[in-house]
Amino acid sequence: MFVCICKAVTEEEVHEHMDDGADSADAIGEKCGAGWGCGTCVDRLNELLCARAIGSRVAAA
């Protein structure tokens, strides 16, 4: 599924960037341009980042 239509960035690509250390919407944008077009996808990028952070905390508990 596309997260960013402007730059044709998929959710899978966003997860790969997070795996490579991107820890903010800006960091993801630096890698692939997501969030740097119209900005509509920034909320979704932040949702994915939060879900990753929550998942990490749950796994550590």
pLDDT at 57 over 90: no
Domain that holds residue 29: 2-60
DSSP string, 1-40: -EEETTTTEEHHHHHHHHHTT--SHHHHHHHH-TTSSSST
In terms of Cβ atoms closer than 10 Å to its own Cβ (0-12, 13-18, 19+), residue 10 is: middle
Q: Tell me, what CATH number does 52's domain have?
A: 1.10.10.1100
Q: Count structural domains, the chain.
A: 1
Distance CA 24, CA 42 (A): 10
pLDDT at 59 over 80: no
pLDDT at 56 over 90: no
Q: How confident is the model at residue 55 (pLDDT cuts 50, 70, 90)?
A: confident
Q: What is the pLDDT of residues 4-44, one digit of tens each?
A: 999 999 999 999 999 999 999 999 999 999 999 999 999 99
